A and B are shown apart, each in its own frame.
Chain A
Amino acid sequence: MDDMVRVFCVGVGGQGVLLASRLIGETALLEGLRVSMSEVHGMAQRGGVVETSVVLGKRYSPVLSDGEADIMLAFEPLEALRGISRCHSESVIVVNSVPIPPFTVTQGGQVYPEIEEIEKHLKDLVSKTFMLDALRLARDAGSERSLNVVMVGIVAGMGCLPLKKDSFFQTIKKLLPPNLVEVNIKSFDLGYVVGRELTG
């Protein structure tokens, strides 16, 4: 898939999934690539699942079906597992390891799978699965809310996106309010370094 990159982002409402995909999309536009993005609005505030996808290059439709995600950015482990059908065996999965149990678990008696089991299930199907505590990185950078930018930094550092680091910085300056730019640049950077290490 050299001529296109299809990124599927999934998380829980409030984790900033939309901004993460927008960060990728606007950076692609900055570099003159063909890009489009799909979002489904409305249920994010109410604790539901948020899915977006960004497609770069030779792909016209941004809605990704089963087996069509080259990259899955999962901000939450349960949602990573729920999203596994979008991936194929050559996908790259980056998943944040910190769970947010839904109320069906915290109250409804359903069982949240063990994190290790989730990781194993993902790795068995998609060998390039990388699970890590991205929330800690966000905290280190100075704000837990910048988890989304950390995640984008990681996948950028891994070299999975045909986009330059500097372009991402420019987009962060464009999309975020001035008082949040510094911490988000830091977050992106921390994620980028980790991403570089992951792919060696």
Chain B
Amino acid sequence: MRELITAGKGERLFLLGNEAIVRGALESSVAFVSAYPGTPSSEIIDTFYELRKEAGLRVEYAVNEKVSVETAAAAAISGIRSLVAMKHVGLNVAADAFMTLAYVGVRAGMVIVSADDPSLHSSQNEQDNRFYARMALVPLLEPATPQEAYSMTKAAFKLSEKFSVPCLLRTTTRVSHTRGVVMFESKPAEIKPATGLFKKDPMKYVVVPMVGRQLRLKLLDKWKAMEEESSGSELNFVEGDGSWGIVTSGVSYLYVLDALEELELIGKVKVAKLGMTSPFPSGFIGGFLEEVNKLLVVEELEPYIEEHVRGVAHKVGWKGVVCGKDVIPRAFELNVPIVKRAIARSFDVNVGEKKIFAVPELPARPPNLCPGCPHRATYYSVKKVFGDDAIYPTDIGCYTLGLLPPLKMADFLICMGSSVSTAGGFSVVQDKPVVAFIGDSTFFHAGIPGLINAVANDHRILLVVLDNSTTAMTGHQPHPGVSMTKEGRCEPKVPLENVIGACRVKKLEVVNPLNVRRAIKTFEVLRQELIDEPGVYVVVSRSPCPLLERRVTRKKQMVYFVVDDSCDGCGRCIDELACPAFVREDGLVSINRLLCIGCTVCAQICDSIKPVKIKKK
């Protein structure tokens, strides 16, 4: 991705929205970047990290989004432009810092990228983070394309510095993960070594109530100025002609354009495209209302724009009709057919239904834990010992896929770190054993307070930390406890055992899940101890992610496994382990040689499975 640094003015690249943001930030002399990975934002931190040396900037993988905002805020307050990026739920984690940072403000520009996920492609909810800008009283930009992601990143830094507040840049999956042509307006700025300066000013930076009250009033003044900026911003513009109006933002704008094209309404409808939506550009919309007599708001998720538009309409005494969530769905992403139908309904236009081919009922192809994934082995052993009787709070990561049958080792999940704390809650209000699963990265992110809380409040749980030495699902990013990164083996900076031990749990065991007999024995002993001496027990189930290990060590696979002819077709391997490499055929089971990575677990649970050495070429 070196071209993000080297490509000059006028050059055009085919970039992901996320990559375009990186280039926009580089052109803005960003010098400090911090993020916790999260789909659909992860490419931002990963790309910055890859370019850090050449671009001369400080890039940090943060333990969670709250600390990323805090560290970046310190940089911005010291005059160093900073950027943080997160998925939408990450802003929930960062909200405490974010809300009061708006009071304190920044000196150099600080951009907070929130990559939302309508349709929950890879998230536990689909919240509309535009409301965060409204609540914190900061500016918000909504790019619709990778080109806009690039240019609005630059605009965001300028806005942030103009008003001395962080600026929110809000994308969605269909902007962050869309690849489009981006033309660069200038060369990336010269890299200046970090020469920050913190000017002491406790009456501005230490927010005790007396200070907070002053800052609150200052922020409200700024808000007024920002409202004027928004209403006059070039990022909000009108195209087209006619007495019908559509107000839209983000990727929905593209659906509107395509829909108008198909309905042959291009040039017959005025489209107000909003790029800066916080503060809401009331003046701009007030002017727009004078030009139209019917209006449709096309936006994904909540009626954020719509409610503002209705407010403006009421204020200026507009007599026209506003359509919005009555014809546009509130749940999930939009697309051209949905927007087309909504436009047709709102403006009473013929839509001409297309014939759609029905899809027959077909076998599903859901994602699954990889063949050889150590999490599968851990789940197998825990299930052997605790069965279906225990409650299994789980957490967010690859291992959440353990919820799939036949493993079915997940019972409750709401957010990062919820496994530990909900486990504790379950353990004190009912009598079934409680075994919680959390990943290594998730543990550092949000599991530690829950664990300390469990010890302090005498909860009775077994916490299994699934340690595959990486943040796998999002692309193998590192965390403080890893002993392996994409760059090679390393010493953990903050070993898991040290942290867990310091929490004074009753017992900490470390097991290798690929050694099934040992693992089962360990869990059996702990199951009894949980009964005899209730308290907080922790097992670190440690084995590196095979995908990462293979890539880093380049170790060649030595064996694969086959089912010999003593197989009686009992199917226990599939019912209890369900490695995707198993194939049930003609009443017997075989192993797909191409999928088997040779983890040995299946051979440990069935005598009919034998290793075959891979001959060296």
User: Measuring CB to CB, which residues of chain A are less than 8 angstroms from any residue of chain B?
Assistant: 12-13, 22, 25-26, 29, 34-43, 45-49, 58-63, 65-68, 78-79, 81-82, 84-85, 87-89, 101-113, 121, 125-126
Contacts and interface: CB of A to CB of B under 8 A. Distances in A.
B177 A38 contact: yes
B359 A84 contact: yes
Interface in B1-48: 12-14, 16, 39-40
B362 A82 contact: yes
Interface stretch (B159-167, B251-259, B418-426): B251-259
Contacts of B362: 78, 81-82, 113
A57 B181 CA distance: 12
Given A38-B177, A47-B580, A60-B258, A29 B12 contact: yes
B179 A104 contact: no
Contacts of B360: 81, 121
Contacts of B145: 36
Question: Which of B39, B181, B251, B357 is the most central at the interface, judged by chain A CB atoms within 10 Å of its CB?
Answer: B357
Contact of A59 (B179, B258, B357): B258
B173 interface: yes
Contacts of A87: 357
Contacts of A12: 365
B209 interface: no
Contact of B356 (A26, A67, A105): A67
B336 A65 contact: yes
Interface string B169-185: 00001100111110000
Nearest to B181: A29
Nearest to A122: B357
B358 A47 contact: no
B578 interface: yes
Contact of B335 (A35, A47, A63, A104): A63
Interface in B246-299: 251, 254-255, 257-258, 261
A91 to B, nearest CB: 10
Contact of A46 (B12, B181, B369, B592): B369
26 contacts: A13-B367, A22-B14, A29-B13, A29-B181, A35-B180, A36-B179, A37-B179, A37-B180, A39-B16, A39-B179, A43-B122, A43-B367, A47-B365, A48-B368, A58-B261, A60-B254, A61-B335, A62-B178, A63-B174, A63-B335, A67-B357, A68-B336, A82-B365, A85-B357, A101-B363, A107-B582
B468 to A, nearest CB: 13
Given A12-B365, A45-B547, A103-B368, A29 B578 contact: no
A6 B378 CA distance: 45
A95 B370 CA distance: 26
B366 interface: yes
A36 B122 CA distance: 22
Given A12-B365, A48-B365, 15 more contacts: A29-B14, A36-B145, A37-B178, A40-B173, A42-B474, A43-B122, A45-B547, A47-B365, A61-B255, A63-B335, A81-B359, A84-B359, A101-B583, A104-B366, A107-B583
A38 B258 contact: no
4 closest A-B pairs by CB: A48-B367, A46-B367, A110-B363, A61-B254
Contacts of A110: 363-364
A167 B575 CA distance: 51
A107 B365 contact: no
A49 B365 contact: yes
Contacts of A48: 365-368
A104 B364 contact: yes
A103 B355 contact: no
B592 to A, nearest CB: 8
Given A59-B258, A103-B578, A66 B337 contact: yes
Interface of B: 12-14, 16, 39-40, 121-122, 145-146, 173-174, 177-181, 251, 254-255, 257-258, 261, 333, 335-338, 354-360, 362-370, 398, 401, 473-474, 547, 574, 578, 580, 582-584, 592
A65 B14 contact: no
Nearest to B474: A42
B155 to A, nearest CB: 21
Contacts, number: 156
A107 B574 contact: yes
Contacts of B583: 101, 106-107
A102 B360 CA distance: 16
Nearest to A83: B359
A144 to B, nearest CB: 10
A71 B372 CA distance: 36
A102 B14 CA distance: 33
A13 B369 CA distance: 13
A63 B259 CA distance: 13
A159 to B, nearest CB: 23
Given A66-B356, A85-B357, A22 B179 contact: yes
A44 B362 CA distance: 19
B365 A125 contact: no
Given A41-B177, A61-B251, A67-B356, A47 B14 contact: no
A78 B360 CA distance: 11
Given A85-B358, A102-B365, A107-B583, A65 B337 contact: yes
A46 B370 contact: yes
B357 A46 contact: no
A35 B14 CA distance: 9
A199 B32 CA distance: 55
A28 to B, nearest CB: 8
Contact of B14 (A26, A84, A113): A26
Nearest to A102: B365
A75 B251 CA distance: 28
Contact of A36 (B180, B357, B369): B180
A125 B357 CA distance: 8
Question: Which of A60, A81, A84 is the most central at the interface, judged by chain B CB atoms within 10 Å of its CB?
Answer: A60
A65 B365 contact: no
A79 B120 CA distance: 22
Nearest to B373: A46
A35 to B, nearest CB: 7
Nearest to A49: B365
Contacts of A61: 174, 251, 254-255, 257-258, 335-336
